[in-house]
Amino acid sequence: MSDTETLEASASKAKKPKQITMVQALNAALDEAMAADEGVILLGEDVGAKQGGGVFKVSSGLSEKYGDHRIRATPISEQAIMGACVGAALAGMRPIAEIMLMNFVTVAMDQIVNHAAKLRFMSGGQTNVPMVIRTTTGVGVGFGGQHSDMLEAWFAHVPGLKIVTPSNAADAKGLMRSAIECNDPVIFIENILCYGLKSEDPGVDYRVPLGKAAVAREGSDVTLITYGRTVLDALEVAETLAGEGVSVEVIDLRTIAPYDEATVTASVRKTGRAVVLHEAVRSYGTGAEIASRLHEALFNELKAPVQRIGGAFSAVPMASVLEQAWIPSKDEIADAIRTTMEWKR
């Protein structure tokens, strides 16, 4: 064993990479952003120390450190939370609205769609709304029809909004810092089922740029495009199919809108086949937009039509057996890929 190897071995032993959960990653991103900029504030229900630092503990410890004037525990008033963030953003602050669950965002749609998204444009660029709307959701924990929806397609349809969702803790940290620094409104979707996922701590001041997808696994036969929690399913299915001799490239969009067309199109140009997967309802989902764009760009090069997989066309059910039937299963994902592979013109 050479000296260098010995040194490396001892260094890695001494500095075992620290693992952090997504909740810790988000908490650290907020903490770093608040330390760096007085204008960063958080408004939301139960977010202060008096309320326990948020229902999912993402803001734990922050009100003690930065004060109640920067971590503002609010009444249950989503319109007022959102409007206050819009106003504070117009005045040059970088507010973060924590909306406990994505379905509750619907209560504040006017402020998001008519105001946050449009004020830069309608003012001719005189004002802008640098705010982050943090919210969480997720199918698979039995929360039922009003606590589980993924509504990203609603917002992707509105000019002026950016939509981000991390699939792992490191990305959560880097995307959150970038979202806070973005000069336009960003909807940051967290998934309850991902909060406990661990990544290697990417360290302080880590950033993941908005608008850039990641190739989560390289492959050559088919591109599986997804984001958020379903990236985990996608990677598992890719591993299974590798055993069948199918090489799946998995793309984690990370930013849903604006869509990283360059990365996705390049991958599908390479593989000639694509499947789009999301947890949100399949009908009129973002998968339809992505599939359509791929058909427009690569019609003559595609070896098979782009497949779409998404949630069933019903409210998210509560009973576990129904919930599992509702959500795209790994078998469904694998079957869609096999269909694409076996497609005959």
Partner 1 sequence: MTIDREKLLDIYTRTMKVAGFDEKMRSLLMSGKLATIYYTMRGQELVTSAMMAALNQDDYLVTTYRGQHDQIAKGVPLDLLIAEIAGRATGTCKGKGGSMHITHPATGVMVTTGVVGSGLPIANGLALSSQNKKDGKVTVTCFGDGATNIGAFHEALNMAQLYKLPVIFLCQNNHYGEHTAFADHTKVDSIVTRAAAYGMRGVKVDGNDAVAMYAAAKDAVDRARAGEGPTLIEAMCYRMMGHFFGADFSYMPPEHIEEMKAQDPLPKLNALMLEHQFPQAELDAIVAKLAAELDAAVAFAFDSPFPDADEIRKDVFEEEIAA
Q: Kindly list the residues in this chain that would bind partner 1 in the complex (CB under 8 A).
A: 38, 41, 69-70, 72, 74-75, 77, 79-80, 82-93, 95, 110-111, 114-115, 119-128, 159-160, 162, 183-184, 258
225: closest CA among 285, 149, 185? 285
In angstroms, what is the minimal distance from the CB of 255 to partner 1? 12
The residues pairing with 187 across neighbouring beta strands, listed in sequence order, are 133, 163
Taking the complex as a whole, how short is the minimal distance between the CB of residue 287 and partner 1, in angstroms? 23
Of 261, 90, 230, residue with least CA distance to 250: 230
- DSSP 8-class letter at 12: H
Q: Return d(Cα 327, Cα 309) in angstroms, integer.
A: 9
CB 29 within 8 A of CB 21: no
Q: Which is nearer to partner 1, 121 or 313 (CB)?
A: 121
Catalytic annotation on 78?
yes
The answer to whether 131 and 185 are in contact (CB under 8 A) is: yes
Q: Which is nearer to partner 1, 82 or 193 (CB)?
A: 82
Q: Which is nearer to partner 1, 70 or 173 (by Cβ)?
A: 70
> Pick the catalytic residue: 32, 45, 78, 152?
78
- Of 32, 45, 98, 147, which one is the catalytic site residue? 147
User: Which residues make Cβ contacts (< 8 Å) with residue 50, sequence separation at least 6?
Assistant: 63, 73
Nearest CB to partner 1, comparing residues 8 and 38: 38
In the residue annotation, 147 being an active-site residue is answered as yes
What angle (nearest 5°) sits at the alpha carbon of residue 229, between those of residues 314 and 154? 50
| Cβ–Cβ < 8 Å for 2, 10 | no
What minimum distance in Å lies between the beta carbon of 286 and partner 1? 18
- DSSP bridge partners of 98: 44, 134
Kindly state the smallest distance separating residue 210's Cβ from partner 1, in Å: 10
- Active-site positions? 78, 147
